[in-house]
Amino acid sequence: MISECFGSVDFKKTGLLNNIQFFVMWRDLEKRWREQALLVRTPVPDRELAALYRLFNDFDGDSYGVSLSDFIDCQAEIRAQV
């Protein structure tokens, strides 16, 4: 589901999402999570979503933007620490 949402907003197929694309992808994920009853708190407030983008963007300092692997790896690390 994540790779599908990621690919749907990566129009130029660069493999990196800017902040706007990240917001659109996240909102699409929230919608899908709601439909599957996987999400408890929705929607994530915009300022928290901006902080998430910065976190995912900083996860791999080699590029500007969030790659799919950054998103998956960072999310896994966050879940492991919670």
Give the residue ranges of the chain where pLDDT is below 50.
none
φ and ψ at residue 50, rounded to 5 degrees: -65, -40
Give the model's pLDDT for residue 79. Answer: 81
Q: Which domain holds residue 49?
A: 2-81
- The dihedral through the CA atoms of 41, 53, 70, 35 has a sign that is positive
Q: Which amino acid is at 79?
A: R
Write the pLDDT tens digit of every residue in 66-81: 888 888 888 888 788 8
Angle at 43 between CA 60 and CA 19, to 5 degrees: 35
Give the model's pLDDT for residue 22. Answer: 93
Number of domains in the chain: 1
pTM of the model: 0.82
Give me the percent of the chain exceeding a pLDDT of 90.
29
Question: Where residue 19 sits, what CATH number does that domain have?
Answer: 1.10.238
